[in-house]
Amino acid sequence: MAENKFRGFLRDYSWESLILVFNVIAVVVATLLSPLYLNAFQILYSLQQSMGIASILAIGFMMIILVGEIDLSLPALVAVGTVSFARLSVMGLPLGLSILIVLAFTTLAGLLNGYLIVSFSLPSMAVTLGMMGVYRALALWIGGYEGFGVDAFKPSYIYVGDTLWAGFLPVSFVLLVFLFVLAWLLVHKTVYGRLLYATGNNRRATHLTGHSIKSIITSTYGIGGLMAGVGALVYIGQYQSARADNVASILLFVVACIALGGFSLAGGKGRVIGLILSILLLGTIQNGMGLANIQGPVQTLVIGLILIASIVVPAAIGAIGGAASRAKNIAERVSASSK
Amino acid sequence: MAEPRVRIRNVSKSFGGIDALKDVSFDIAAGEIHALVGENGAGKSTLVKIITGLQSSDRGSILLDGAEIRFHNPMEARAGGVLAVYQDPKLFPNLDIAENVFMGIHPKTRTGLIDRKLMYRRTREVLDWLGADLDPKAVVVSLSTGQMQFVEFARALFDANEKLLLLDEPTASLSPNETQKLFEIVKRLKKRGVSILFISHRIEELFGFADRITILRDGAHVVTKDMSEVGQAQIVQYMVGRDITDLYNGAHAEGAAAVGAARDKAKAVLRVEKLSSMGEFSDVSFEVYPGEIVGMAGLVGSGRTEIAKAIFGAIPLEGGRVWIAGRQVSVRNPAQMIGEGVVYVPEDREIEGLIADLSVSDNMLLPSVVKLAVAGFVNAREEAKIYDRYTQEFQIKSAGPRTKISGLSGGNRQKVVLSKWMSMSPKVFLFDEPTHGIDVGSKAQVHKVMRELARQGMGILMISSDLPEILTMSDRVLVVSDGLLVAEYLRAEATQEKIMAAAITGKDGK
Amino acid sequence: MGDLTTAVQTPKRHWSVIVLKNRMVGVLLFEALIVIIFSIAARKFLTLSNLNTIFLNACILAILACAEAVVIITRNYDVSVASMLALAAFVGFDLIKKFPNVGPVLILVPIGIGVVCGLVNGVIVAYGRVSSVFVTLAGLSIYRGIVTIYAQGHQIEPRDISDWVRNSVTGSVVPGVSNLAIITVVIIALVAIYLRYTRIGRQIYAIGSNPDAATFYGLKVPRVILGAYLLCGAMVGLSGFLFAARSSYVVPWFAQGLEMQVIGAVVVGGVSVLGGSGNVVGAALGAIVLTTMDNGLILIGTHEVIRQFLYGVAIVGACILDASVLKQVSRLLKSSKRLGARR
């Protein structure tokens, strides 16, 4: 009885279990590659540094992916956020007010994306590519060519991204944990989450059951924008810089986290725990690569390969499975007709 | 006597245990216009797909000019001289007519490049031969449905090597003039010696046109006769004449009380007046009273689904008024209509009624999940209660609430679709082909549920192409033909023949 | 006779149908418009040398837009073009540097690299049946990573390059006309002919227009999609050579971020991302439009901000236009259906 439940659990969570196994393997390999690795603080810190902002964006991106859409403009919105924070800091606004303004701004921008896509039935890839340009231009306008350096920021502004509690626990990490808990509750325990999966799997049926597809999809873009703003807050603390070209290459990491996390790029599949595990795995791999002194672009190459593998392998397995069951059908027919 | 050009011998095909074709055999001679007639689901389209290679038969064979044919796709069939023209044109909207006609088989010049001049000329020729005044350079997206149908014909007919032409409801989207043109074309083909299989519901058009007629019913061959030997009434009789007494047991309960008595329209739970939607239906008015089951019969494509969806708010309603329980409502979207107490059980169960990769419980609770929620959070306990209640009440066999719904049988899936609406306290149930594709036992259960719903005072509109089902279940029968409501029969006076005749001819025979 | 057209009113004059048929004319008009505006706004604009500059600058973008258009017409994307270009350019020029005496046959190297990248992209998208966006997004970083590894921190400098390379681009085989211009026009013409006068070319359009009908008619859809990616890769490889030949240095981060301009050019040029429509000449025109705008804005002294902004708006605007046209046309189609036809 218990064994059946365990088997069922494994089958449901097969992808996540696989990533967990890879996580363990990665830790082992990283330890072998470099003796510096197996240090709790080192792990925590490097994870936070390399994947912190990508994780925040990934939460927003996840919502959009779940309903089967995409938003390429989120990194550009982060840049809008960072330069906005810098300006507001220079203007002397208190942090609380700044946070309200910037988050409202990025959320509205996200909602604008969603509105355009939903109202005009536009392909989200092309539209958000265009909006990416628009937002980058906006960031350039707000921040200027040089952007802002460390002097621009009041201490309160960089608190979130920069501080370590008790000397080792990054505040931003705590924030990240908090966000993941919220995300998990939202996606797996609320009505909204249920509707996200329904929409991602079958828009028509969900609409015919009395839910507004337009609102659901638009709202995911709003969440994406919100997360971009939060990411901006962490960014300025972590890097103490704000330029229009911030996080120019983060999109690949985000998409790789999502794909590796077991999310179907067509929507409707994937779990928050999968995302957490994939972020840990990618972070560990990055950490290990960094300690082994592998060049930046090579690391990016590896991430790209992982992304391809995450997409192609399930499709290949599906195709093989389909072919196998078709072959089985034919075999059954042949044996049936020869009777 | 010479061997007939086409011999269809003992063709059988079943899908998942349901027989679409049972041992069908008949012949078509060269230069013969052979009509194929039958209800929806009688197997006509399946037969066409098997002949052209889109499907393979389970048993039986098809002989063309004495040799057995077994194609794997339409291109192969075309090469073999077998062509089909279907009802919904599968064209490339961004390209022009000539490109559509020649896609994949463009004529080439000596240099190996496409000879566009020749392509346009040959398209012009074939269009002229069809009698269609269309410009080969016209982009397909700007054509009407009827014109698109002619492009399909052009595509099928341009290289003049046809031996067998299959036409599946070719006149469905044509105007009377276009229909006449089509008949002329077919007659010219007949002179050329082409065998033609002509599927149509418009029986009256077949007289003076078709040579022989084959009637299928429930997948089986009923009869093949010369057109001169049968009359319309007889054809209808062959189409539907089945003994229905042993199919569905149990008489319908007292919902019929509302019928016959003087009816006060204000008491109707659903009342519609002069509903219209461009291109789908027009001037539709009827009422459904509490406790009633109103059957809506008609041919496939006559607009019944569109009427139901428009009432539900799933497709735009352009004209007319709707009253629910005496109160006029302005139909906007499904969410709003559900709030008014109208629910819709879709015809296409798998795509519109269910979400395949979600669990049984999630599907069942999808409409009510918001209602039951506590501060936005899913109310697991209430949901479990509902799940238990309806799995028991409707005897739904599932391995558990969290199992994927795709693992359930068709009948059980339909019961989940039904039960998902139950918790929304509906007043009006719109059923669209409720027992299509499910086993007999589950059919009986679904019918039982429907009767119970009626007994509880709900009003039920039941769209169905299953005439025995219509006759057994309905208190009244509405017949829709070509987007118009053409007949209404009380249960006592309704017969399969009358309904089918009304659906086909558009006249109620009264 | 004549009944078919009178029986149903096809509103031939409806704005959406006109737009559908005449997108390219619209692009030309738009180009004329901005030329006029900039001629007035900046004195230096309407000089022969400036127009020449615009045209030459546009050439490479035009070839890239042409390449991307082929893929977009099949209803797919390739966002890895900039990285493919860098890889092809760097490796190609590295070999030219290492084998200075081999000569023009080495042009085949960057083209070959482009083809290989296109092959990888195409196989995964066509046969893996996965979303082209994500696959080529991965490709973007993979190809960039490969070129960085290959470069080992080095860069290629002007003195490393044999003269024939630069001459092939800046020289003039035909007096007064830059080689680059000739090459560009020839390539675009060849591709345009291919798309219009070969069966595979027409199938590229068919697949983008209605993938279901394409499969139904037995067209070999995956093969055609693969072909589109291969063609795109070959052109990107060639433009890598041309781009590098024109620049002074070749570095691993060459042409970073160029994707957006490429897709912008394609979309502005009337090639809809919904697939099945537009042509490569339009894409090339789109490249000219964007380059003209760039040039004019710089001459006026506008901030780079505006340029980025305009690319973005152009893409979004073109998408909205295409989607609206589609919606309108399907609505027109519905209104032409007849009810109760036999009454």
Number of structural domains found in chain A = 2
pLDDT of B231: 87
Q: In chain B, what residues touch A205 (CB-CB under 8 Å)? A: 351-355
Whether A58 and A205 share a structural domain: yes
Mutate to test the interface with B, among C1, C3, C21, C22 (most CBs of B within 10 A): C3
Segment B100-126 mean pLDDT? 89
| Total number of residues shown for chain C | 343
Segment C330-337 mean pLDDT? 63
In angstroms, the Cα distances linking B472 to B239, B415, C190 are 18, 20, 68
Q: In chain C, what residues touch A301 (CB-CB under 8 Å)? A: 141-142, 144-146, 148-149
CA distance A304 to A301: 5
Homologous superfamily of B6-240 in CATH? P-loop containing nucleotide triphosphate hydrolases (3.40.50.300)
Q: What H or E segment, with its residue span, contains residue B478?
A: strand B476-481
Is it the case that residue B430 has pLDDT exceeding 50? Answer: yes
Whether A125 and A179 share a structural domain: yes
Is it the case that residue C65 has pLDDT exceeding 50? Answer: yes
Instruction: Read off the amino acid at residue C88.
Output: A
CB-CB under 8 Å, B335 with A210: yes
ipTM above 0.90, yes or no: no
CA distance B281 to chain C (A): 7
Largest CA distance in chain A: 87
CB-CB under 8 Å, B114 with C333: no
In angstroms, the Cα distances linking B165 to A298, B84, B439 are 61, 6, 35
- Would you say B239 and B39 are in contact if contact means Cβ atoms under 8 Å apart? yes
Strand order in the sheet with B6-15: B67-68, B59-64, B6-15, B18-28, B220-226, B212-217, B33-37, B195-199, B164-168, B82-85
Is it the case that residue B41 has pLDDT exceeding 50? Answer: yes
Query: Which pair of structure tokens corresponds to residue A159?
Result: 């608190």
Span A160-214, pLDDT tens digits: 777 777 777 788 888 999 999 999 999 999 999 999 999 999 999 999 999 999 9
CB-CB under 8 Å, C4 with B147: yes
Subunits in contact with chain B (3 or more CB pairs closer than 8 Å): A, C
CA distance C232 to C66: 8
CA proximity to A62, closest of A225, A270, A229:
A270
pLDDT of C21: 63
Confidence tier at B367 by pLDDT (50, 70, 90): very high
CA distance B54 to B105: 20
- Would you say A58 and A275 are in contact if contact means Cβ atoms under 8 Å apart? yes
pLDDT of A257: 93
What count of other Cβ atoms lies within 10 Å of the Cβ of residue A97? 10
Q: Which domains, ranges and CATH numbers included, belong to chain C?
A: 6-334 (1.10.3470)
Whether A125 and A24 share a structural domain: yes
CB-CB under 8 Å, B143 with C276: no
> Considering the entire predicted model, what is its pTM?
0.88
pLDDT of A151: 77
CA proximity to B396, closest of B423, B368, B420, B416:
B416
Confidence tier at C16 by pLDDT (50, 70, 90): low
Which letter does DSSP use for residue A151 in this model? G
Q: In chain A, what residues touch B334 (CB-CB under 8 Å)? A: 207-210
- The vertex-B354 CA angle with B350 and B356, nearest 5°, equals 75
Whether A196 and A244 share a structural domain: yes
Which letter does DSSP use for residue B374 in this model? B
pLDDT of C190: 96
Segment B452-458 mean pLDDT? 89
Chain B contact present for C197, CB below 8 A: yes
Chain C contact present for B91, CB below 8 A: yes
Q: What is the three-class DSSP state of A257? A: helix
Is it the case that residue B320 has pLDDT exceeding 80? Answer: yes
Whether A306 and A278 share a structural domain: no
pLDDT averaged over every residue in chain C: 84
- Would you say A86 and A148 are in contact if contact means Cβ atoms under 8 Å apart? yes
Which position has the token pair 């030219």?
A: C96
Whether A235 and A336 share a structural domain: no
Instruction: Read off the amino acid at residue B220.
Output: A
pLDDT of C280: 94
CA proximity to A70, closest of A201, A205, A220, A253:
A220
Host domain of residue A212: 2-292
CA distance B207 to chain C (A): 15
CA proximity to A112, closest of A218, A220, A213:
A218
- Would you say B506 and C340 are in contact if contact means Cβ atoms under 8 Å apart? yes
Using a 10 angstrom Cβ sphere, with 0-12 exposed, 13-18 middle and 19 or more buried, the burial of residue C212 is: exposed
**Which CATH number is A117's domain given?**
1.10.3470
Chain B residues bordering chain A (beta-carbon distance below 8 Å): 312, 314, 333-335, 338-339, 344, 346, 351-358, 362, 366-367, 369-370, 373, 376-378, 420
B vs C: CB pairs below 8 A: 147
CA distance A314 to chain C (A): 10
Segment A275-282 mean pLDDT? 93
CA proximity to B171, closest of B304, B299, B30:
B299
CB-CB under 8 Å, B357 with A268: yes
Is it the case that residue C181 has pLDDT exceeding 80? Answer: yes
* Torsion on CA atoms C304, C309, C312, C316, rounded to nearest 10: -160
Chain C contact present for B306, CB below 8 A: no
Find how far residue C247's CA is from the centre of its chain: 20
CB-CB under 8 Å, C343 with B278: no
Whether A58 and A179 share a structural domain: yes
Whether A271 and A339 share a structural domain: no
Domain with CATH 3.40.50.300 in chain B: 6-240, 244-341+426-510
CATH of B244-341+426-510, one of 3.40.430.10, 3.30.9.10, 3.40.50.1220, 3.40.50.300: 3.40.50.300
Chain C contact present for B120, CB below 8 A: no
Whether A50 and A97 share a structural domain: yes
Pairing of strands B6-15, B59-64: antiparallel
Confidence tier at C9 by pLDDT (50, 70, 90): very low
Identify which has the larger pLDDT, B211 or C257.
B211
Residues of chain A numbered 70-129 and touching chain B (CB < 8 Å): none
Whether A17 and A39 share a structural domain: yes
